[in-house]
Amino acid sequence: MVSPLLQTPGAVPADAPDQEVAAHYGEPSQEQRALERGEAFVDRSNRGVVKVSGPDRLGWLHSLLTQHLEELKPFEPTEALLLDANGRVENHLFLIDDGEAVWAHVEPGKAAPLAEFLDRMRFMLRVEVEDVSDAYAVVTGPGPAEPETLSWPDVAGTVTRLVPRGELPGFPEPPDGPRPAGIWAYEALRIAEHRPRFGLDTDSRTIPHEAGYVETAVHLNKGCYRGQETVARVHNLGRPPRRLVFLHLDGSVDRLPAHGDPVEIPGGRAVGFVGSAARHHELGPVALAVVKRTVPVDAELLAGGVAAAQEVVVSPDTGANAQIALRRRPAGRG
C-alpha cells in the first residue's frame, strides 16, 4: 500500500522492502538529525498490523510465541518471535495489549501470512484474528509515549505508534509539528544501536541466539512453544553457528554494500553476509552483518568489497550457559 506521504514535495521512494514509503524528502542528513532531536517523524506505514481479540488471546499467544504473554499488562509493549519447528525465526512481532485485544506490527508483507497462520491455530479457543493493515499505520516520532496508547519505545528516544491510516495525509509539519523524515533516517539510527531487522539482518536459517533476539523477544523460562527445543539446546549446551556484528565501513568508498553481499576475510573466503547498511550522520557508513561464530572478533573484513572493522554485537560465547550481554549502543537523544 503506497503511502500518501510519497506525494510530499521532495519525497524519494525507498528501495525494497520499503518501496512504498519515502527514503528521504530531499535532506537525508538533516532529517536524521531532526529525528534524533525529537523534531521529526518517520512514515513506516508499509509495515503490517495484526489484531488478536477475545478472552483467550493472551494464553493462546503465549503458547505459540517465544515471549511470556499470559500476564501481559495492558499497554505494556513487548516483542516476540514466531519460530518454525527447528527454531528458525519466521516472524518478529512488536506487541501491545489494550485490555481487549493484542496489537502487533510486523515487517512489510508479513501481516497476511501471520494472520493466516494464527487463524489456522485457533481451534475452539475464543480468539479472533484480523489483518488490519488497511486501517492502521505505523509511524515513528518524538517521545515520550502518551499513557494508555498503542506505542512502543524505539531508537534514539523515539516512539513508534499505531495511528488510523486515514490520518497519514494530514500529519503536521513545521511550524505546527515535527517534520517528515525518510526511512533512511530511521534505519541509520537503528543500525547504529545494533538492532537487527527481521528479513534484512536475518535469513531463513536464523535462530534467535544468532541475532541477539534472546535479549528482547525470548523468555527463557516459560512453557512449550514451537521451536523451543532449539532455543533451550543452544542456551544450555552449545553456541549458535553464527553471530550478528556491527561494521564500521570504509568512508572513502562512495557506495554502501547491498543486502546479501558476501562478508569476506582477507584471502577472499566468505564468512557471512551483509544485512542492512546506511550512512549515519556521525559514525559515517555503517552496517549490520551475520558472520560465522569462529571469525576472530578483531578480524578485518570486506563487506561487499568494502573494507570494514567489526564491533561485537552477539558474543561468540553466547549460549552454553554463557552470560548473554549484547554490546548494544545505548538509546538516547543526540
**Position with higher pLDDT, 319 vs 253:** 253
> Domain range spanning residue 153?
4-47+135-193
Residue 325 domain-assigned (yes or no): no
Of the residues 193, 210, 232, the one at which a domain ends: 193
| pLDDT value of residue 317 | 84
Query: Which residue, 281, 74, 61, 291, is CA-closest to 186?
Result: 281
Residue 161 domain-assigned (yes or no): yes
| pLDDT value of residue 332 | 45
Check whether 261 has a pLDDT greater than 50.
Answer: yes
Read off the pLDDT of residues 274-305 as tens digits, 9 standing for 90 and up.
999 999 999 999 999 999 999 999 999 999 99
Q: Are residues 72 and 111 in the same domain?
A: yes
| Average pLDDT rounded to a whole number, residues 132-161 | 96
Q: Where are the alpha helices (DSSP H) in the chain?
A: 28-37, 57-64, 111-120, 183-192, 208-211, 228-236
Residue 332 domain-assigned (yes or no): no
Check whether 312 has a pLDDT greater than 90.
Answer: yes
Read off the pLDDT of residues 80-97 as tens digits, 9 standing for 90 and up.
999 999 999 999 999 999
| Average pLDDT rounded to a whole number, residues 156-172 | 90
- What percent of the chain clears pLDDT 70, i.e. is strictly above it? 94
Q: Are residues 156 and 185 in the same domain?
A: yes
Q: Are residues 34 and 76 in the same domain?
A: no
Q: Are residues 289 and 256 in the same domain?
A: yes
Sheet holding 128-131, edge to edge: 78-83, 89-97, 101-106, 48-53, 128-131
Residue 231 domain-assigned (yes or no): no
| Average pLDDT rounded to a whole number, residues 140-163 | 96
Number of domains the chain is built from = 3
Residue 205 domain-assigned (yes or no): no
- pLDDT bin (cut points 50, 70, 90) of residue 237 is confident
Q: Are residues 20 and 65 in the same domain?
A: no
Strand 101-106 relative to strand 89-97: parallel, antiparallel, unpaired? Answer: antiparallel
| pLDDT value of residue 321 | 55
Q: Are residues 56 and 84 in the same domain?
A: yes
| pLDDT value of residue 1 | 86
Q: Are residues 170 and 188 in the same domain?
A: yes
Q: Are residues 12 and 54 in the same domain?
A: no
Determine the Cα–Cα distance for residues 245 and 201; give it in Å rounded to an integer.
Answer: 10
Q: Are residues 307 and 280 in the same domain?
A: yes
Q: Are residues 118 and 72 in the same domain?
A: yes
Helix, strand, coil proportions of the chain in percent (round to 5)? 20, 30, 50
Residue 73 domain-assigned (yes or no): yes
Read off the pLDDT of residues 17-76 as tens digits, 9 standing for 90 and up.
999 999 999 999 999 999 999 999 999 999 999 999 999 999 999 999 999 999 999 999
Q: Are residues 264 and 304 in the same domain?
A: yes
Measured from the Cβ of residue 325, the count of other Cβ atoms closer than 10 Å reads 11
* DSSP summary character for residue 33: H
| pLDDT value of residue 324 | 47
| Mean confidence (pLDDT) of the chain | 93
Residue 155 domain-assigned (yes or no): yes
In CATH, what number is assigned to the domain containing residue 282? 2.40.30.110
| pLDDT value of residue 331 | 47
Check whether 7 has a pLDDT greater than 60.
Answer: yes
- pLDDT bin (cut points 50, 70, 90) of residue 173 is low
Least trusted range by pLDDT, from 192-201, 251-260, 321-330: 321-330
Residue 298 domain-assigned (yes or no): yes
Q: Are residues 41 and 142 in the same domain?
A: yes
In CATH, what number is assigned to the domain containing residue 64? 3.30.70.1400
